[in-house]
Structure 1
Amino acid sequence: MEIEQVDLPETTLAVVRERVAMTALTGFYDSAYTRVERALTAAGLAPTGPAIGWYADMPTDSVDVAAGFAVPDGAGPFVDDVQTHTLPAGAAVVGTYTGPYDGLPGAWDQLVTWAAQHGAAGRGDFWEEYLTDPSPDDDPAANVTRLVLPLR
């Protein structure tokens, strides 16, 4: 996995945010993306980037997570429980992982280790950008996920 430190721009997201049991995460993502897509359609908007899963903190048996898409600045308000969330500009360590989602914990370990070896520390939150749209007919080994660790 290629890893680098970059400066990210501020990004506005349209998301559904909840505290979710780790065992219910897949169902949450499926439901949240559907609700956000419906809200964007109702607002006459299209996503400006890939699907994103933002985590407020490290998961335990549950996690504070938001799922949605980047949207133009100033977008919203949205219908239902879809809200805006801003990812602040700043330095981050990013890596692009290719493989099945069950390999993401190992990819995160590699990214966090790289950051520590380079004197960088995360600020607490982090996110994943799902660069490919998984399908039951696709090979999970072809999934591409961008891992983003914002720095203090």
Structure 2
Amino acid sequence: MLDTPHLVQTEPQMAAMIHITVPSDQMQEVMCPAIMEVYEAVKAQGIGPTGALFAHHYGMKPGIFNFDVGVPVSTPVEPVGRVIAGELPGAVVMRTLYTGPYEGLGSAWEDFQELVKAEGRALGPNLWERYLKGPESGEDPSAYVTELNQTIIL
């Protein structure tokens, strides 16, 4: 289920992140280890996380995921392993909330982007999702909440 999209100006956020480029069929096997690595780095350094886990995608090419997985931090992370200092960008985005299991995110993005285009807005190259309520909040995937952010061209 999608909430009504709305226009938002986001502010840049310091982040600790890992960049990943993989075929889409490998996403599940690389995402969890990357998340754990980011969390371990920021907790060991005492700098976060200060907000929700995110995945920042650099466009959506069929069959390929090119993205950063990360968390906001209070100060820049010291690089360790694959974890580097980065930033979730400030941008004008259309934003909505998707409630449901992660398996439904692909369809949710398609529906959301169609709603944005129906408003006469041109999609920008970047998009990100923030995982606001997930497995840590209970066993019912239908209650997961993911914030979807699509950059737009003004």
Deviation at 1:71, TM superposition (A): 1.4
The alignment's TM-score, normalised by the length of structure 1, stands at 0.90
Match 2:64 to one of 62, 71, 96: 62
Contact 2:23 2:65 in 1 (8 A): yes
Deviation at 1:110, TM superposition (A): 2.0
Q: Distance in 1 between matches of 2:116 and 2:134?
A: 28
The alignment's TM-score, normalised by the length of structure 2, stands at 0.89
Q: 1:21-60 counterparts in 2 under 5 A? A: 21-60=23-62
Runs of 5+ unmatched residues, structure 1: none
Letter in 1 for 2:131: Y
**How many residue pairs get matched?**
151
Runs ≥4 in structure 1, deviation > 4 angstroms? none
Contact 1:22 1:59 in 2 (8 A): no
Runs of 5+ unmatched residues, structure 2: none
Q: Distance in 2 between matches of 1:70 and 1:120?
A: 28
Q: In the TM superposition, what whole-angstrom CA distance separates every residue of 1:9-59 from its partner, at most 9, and x where no partner exists?
A: 111221111211211212222111110111112222111111101111204
* Aligned position for 1:127: 128
State the identity %.
27
* Aligned position for 1:117: 118
* Aligned position for 2:6: 4
Q: 1:143 to 1:109 in 2, by over 3 A?
A: same
Residue 89 in 1 paired to residue 118 in 2? Answer: no
